[in-house]
Chain A
Amino acid sequence: MAEVHDRPPEQFTLRMRRYNPESGDAPYWDEHTIELEPHRSVLEAILQARDRFDGSIGIRCSCRQAICGSCGVRVNGEPSLACHTHLDAAKASARDGVIEIEPMGNMPVIKDLIVDMDAVHWKKIQRVTPWLLAKQPVPEREYLVPKEAMVDITQTMACIQCGACVSDCLAMEVDPGFIGPAALAKAYRFVGDPRDAQQRERLVDLAHDQQGIFDCTHCFKCVEACPKDVNPMGQIMRLRRIAIADQHIKDRHNGERHEAAFTTLVRENGLLWEAELLPRSYGGNSWFGKFAPAAGKELISSLPAITKALARGKVTLMGALKPHKIPPGDLKSVQAIYEKVEGREQRYELNLYITGQDEVPAEGAAVAAGAGADGGSDAAAPSGAEGSTSQ
């Protein structure tokens, strides 16, 4: 039995961001000290403060067990569910020992910790045609579909719509119109569903939308934020792979070519050759790409940025003319990764429900999760678990 049950209550101080829209005052900080066992949740602490000291503290909450998705907040700057964050962990990550609780980001605040999810999150969900467009004719009994497919989309079905991923999506911060992690994960729930009749139409729609699947910048924020292991960015990458590799969709905003240029440059040089990336993304995936009219146009329009980068030493003339050099052995290792990934009979898709460890990884076998930045889902996958879920 874990020892947590014997730990005595301790005092914790909460610093909450408060905002009363009726007062005419700016948001302010409000501190309360409560007493609870250290493994209890931040939500329980807020509720204790509300019950004992100030019933006007606004927070949506219900289930207390990370399933209803109501209590998304920022704890010490990180998006989380209040009910899913332990007090001891929150205290440890606090700047000054005081647990700081704020409303989520990227959404307007209504009151205290309550944000307007309709204005942002739900609007984006609506954008992806979030219902099954079922194959016809509808069978008398259930659709017969592979077991793996259902388990696979159960990962995105497990999304509780809490908004934590939306809160800290960096791409959305820059481009509020970005469809975003939660809604695109929801889109995968249908694209991955063998019962859906319009998978291609959905992908065409999301690929051609400038704020669709190619607007994600791989920052991993949503992966970290998600309390349910939905892995929204991973789902976005899967949508891209299906759109590009299976459906051969060439989107009008060069998302597909950008990705191709990226992988080609890394394969050839071991590292990204930044100066080549833009012309190839627009003009075509070869050295001659820069002479294509589309690339020329884009290069000219980027001149101010290029000049600035040159002036500040971010790029050099040599860097523009020649790729970065890495030792030949390293280059070989990089290319071996490509060969391994491309040599698979089936594309390897990381999904926790399918590839979830059957056995605990051996001691010291550190999981190189961060290394799989782009299409490198195999990096984090335990070997031998491929594609099988049956017991």
Chain B
Amino acid sequence: MPAHDVLIIGAGLAGQRAALAAAQQGSSVAIMSKVHPVRSHSVAAAGGINAAISVDDDWHSHAYDTVKGSDFLGDQDAIEVMCSEAPREVMHLEHIGVTFHRNDKGEMDLRAFGGASMKRTAYVADITGQALLHVLYEQLMKHHETVERFEEWFTTSLLLDETGRCCGVIARDVRSGRMEAFTAKNVILACGGAGQAYKPTTNGLIVTGDGIAMAYRAGAPLMDMEMVQYHPTCLVETGILITEGARGEGAHLLNANGERFMEKSAPNKMELASRDVVSRAEQIEINEGRGVGPGGAGIFLDVTVVPRKRTLEALREIVNLGRDFAGVDITREPIMIRPGQHYIMGGVKTDIDGRTPIEGLYAAGEVACVSVHGGNRLGANSLLDTLIFGRRAGEHAAERAAQMGPPRLDTRARLDQDSDELASIIARPRDGRRVSEIKSELGEVMNKHAAVFRDEAGLQSALETVRRLRAESEHAWIDDRGTVFNQDVLGAVELGFMIDCAETTLVGAIERKESRGAQFRTDYPERNDAEWLKHIDITAPQNGGGPRVSYSPVTITQWQPEERKY
């Protein structure tokens, strides 16, 4: 049975950064991922990473922009940590090999991004996430003696001892189908968000809320789950993302009348207002009949106003995306986009060192809610979040591990339970619904009722549907009867994870009777600081009943809530 000081689940940016940080402290480290690390969805982050590295900049300005972007729901102590540590972290990434774009003096170049008061986004063309992820993986290869990698291992549950401490996980080797218990003094969840609970989404097929659901099931509270980001520029048919970097480079948004409609909702920042603001403005144009394309379901993103040479150099990936996935040459004509599910601000509640309320369990990256993003995340703050809190979690877990003995617990019962569970899914008779049908219905109902605009009736009906789908999923059948690369059975487990995430999102959205950040309730259209300047925490039901709701205060250090205008 493998045993480590620190075991990290998920090998995107947060996980790899945590692994490297923990190994640096001398811990024995393992990193486990259901896919090869470079397939992790961090790879798709395009635009860049925010840090106040310019001599004219100040991290306080970055922090204020982030607080304002969060619609004052972000915890300011955490935001201060993230923004003040950002320059050092970005320099570290540069030193280990990230090929950041330079200016003519050979310094790192910076580009404009939404909700930012100045150019603050370091980038590698529009493949920043890929460049960061691959460079961190280079470091994992370099440090292969100190970081053990379990690639293509699927984690099914967290192991808790009698005292409720987290001491490891149960996982399945995807390639052989073998189930195994892994013990560890500390476990760090770094396995991303839950975008696949929505259809369509910009997120990859692997982004199924595994970590959020496993922590929730183990008793950890989830926070801000109602806050779901819709990115303003996604391809209409497939939901594929067009980076905010396009607008950062100067691209316009146009309605059917050719108007730059952002004038109405954000006269100063225009297209570079925060994402919730831009997505709402687009949705209003579409809803009021000023959309473009078939059914008026889209908005034009006009990149032709950016010099062609600059587009080819700095936005090459979206030139390719436009050509390959929409048949459009974005340097010559506008491309049709609309808002699409992109990111969840909520997740497993943690402190600024990534600790969850469950001893021995940490979380970092999209799976976690520190909360630095509050009601709305700024573009190019997610890569920063993964790296800062991944590192902090890794360091803290390593320090803690150095002061404790190995966990003692009997893993047999849980291992058998999970093995039996998977075997029973494989053996199910074909008389219910297919897993794939349920997943599809889940995504559609979430995208219909828990999207840019929400109301009580829609959210309640969605919650009813999700609970029906949960019941159906318990009998849903699959085709694959094998053990080697049985992706079918893992899909059934993932469906269960996504249903947990969807349910808590809806419960949170119903609970929050105001409009703030990404949550816009048409039945409560105003922000209400008097009653709702607080986080909604959700914990799993004990002995039946629905998820339990409680509240926690928002930490305010230096920026009092004020009206939010862009």
- Chain A residues near B (Cβ < 8 Å): 1-6, 20-22, 37, 39-41, 50-52, 54-56, 58, 60-70, 84, 86, 110-112, 114, 117-118, 125-126, 130-132, 134, 138-147, 150-151, 153-154, 157-161, 189, 193, 195, 353, 356-359, 389-391
Contacts and interface: CB of A to CB of B under 8 A. Distances in A.
Interface stretch (B340-348, B415-423, B478-486): B478-486
Given A64-B240, A146-B102, 17 more contacts: A1-B293, A5-B294, A5-B326, A21-B484, A58-B485, A58-B487, A62-B41, A63-B204, A125-B141, A132-B135, A134-B96, A140-B91, A147-B106, A154-B131, A353-B313, A356-B312, A359-B308
A22 B483 CA distance: 8
B369 to A, nearest CB: 23
A390 B313 CA distance: 9
A240 to B, nearest CB: 22
A161 B95 contact: no
B327 interface: yes
Given A54-B479, A60-B39, A154-B124, A391 B44 contact: no
A62 B321 contact: no
Contacts of B294: 5-6
Interface in B1-56: 35-36, 38-41, 43-44, 53
B337 to A, nearest CB: 12
B487 to A, nearest CB: 6
17 contacts: A2-B327, A41-B325, A51-B436, A55-B435, A62-B39, A70-B35, A126-B141, A131-B138, A131-B139, A134-B97, A142-B108, A145-B106, A146-B102, A150-B102, A151-B125, A195-B97, A391-B307
B129 to A, nearest CB: 8
A292 B104 CA distance: 52
A73 to B, nearest CB: 15
B308 A55 contact: no
B131 A157 contact: yes
B326 A63 contact: no
A147 B240 contact: no
A314 to B, nearest CB: 43
Nearest to B203: A63
A359 B309 CA distance: 8
B456 interface: no
Contact of B44 (A5, A40, A68, A195): A68
A55 B104 CA distance: 53
B99 A56 contact: no
Contacts of B36: 70, 117
B127 interface: yes
B130 A147 contact: no
Contacts of B317: 67
Contact of A353 (B105, B125, B308, B487): B125
A158 B127 contact: yes
Contact of B130 (A50, A160, A391): A160
A20 B313 contact: no
Nearest to B322: A2
Contacts of A110: 175, 484-485
A120 to B, nearest CB: 14
Interface stretch (B111-119, B328-336, B513-521): B328-336
A68 B97 CA distance: 20
Contact of B43 (A56, A63, A112): A63
B269 to A, nearest CB: 24
Interface in B470-515: 478-488, 491
A141 B102 CA distance: 13
B154 interface: no
A5 B487 CA distance: 32
A143 B95 contact: yes
A111 B309 contact: no
B313 A64 contact: no
Given A2-B328, A22-B483, A55 B139 contact: no
B334 A1 contact: yes
Given A5-B236, A64-B238, A65-B321, A154 B99 contact: yes
A67 B138 contact: no
Contact of A68 (B41, B53, B313): B41
B428 to A, nearest CB: 12
B485 A114 contact: yes
Contacts of A4: 326-327
B321 A111 contact: no
Contact of B309 (A2, A150, A159, A391): A391
A5 B94 contact: no
Contacts of A138: 95
Interface in B294-333: 294, 307-310, 312-313, 316-317, 320-321, 324-328, 333
A141 B91 contact: yes
B104 A161 contact: no
A112 B482 CA distance: 12
A140 B92 CA distance: 9
B445 to A, nearest CB: 17
Leading 3 A-B pairs by shortest Cβ distance: A132-B97, A56-B480, A62-B204
Given A1-B333, A60-B35, A357-B312, A68 B104 contact: no
A5 to B, nearest CB: 6
B412 interface: no
B265 to A, nearest CB: 25
B127 A157 contact: yes
B101 interface: yes
Nearest to B103: A147
A290 B141 CA distance: 46
B491 A55 contact: yes
Contacts of A150: 99-102
A137 B480 CA distance: 55
A193 B131 CA distance: 14
B308 A358 contact: yes
A118 B36 CA distance: 10
B313 A391 contact: yes
B434 A111 contact: no
A43 B515 CA distance: 39
B237 interface: yes
A1 B97 contact: no
A157 B101 CA distance: 12
Contacts of A143: 94-95
Contacts of B91: 140-142
A284 B334 CA distance: 59
Contacts of B440: 51
B248 to A, nearest CB: 15
Contacts of A56: 479-482, 486, 488
Contacts of A147: 101-104, 106, 109
A195 B130 CA distance: 20
A153 B135 CA distance: 13
B102 A111 contact: no
Given A1-B293, A65-B325, A142 B100 contact: yes
Given A1-B333, A70-B39, A131-B139, A358 B309 contact: yes
Contacts of A126: 141
B99 A193 contact: yes
B253 interface: no
Nearest to A161: B38
B542 to A, nearest CB: 34
Contacts of B43: 63, 67-69, 160
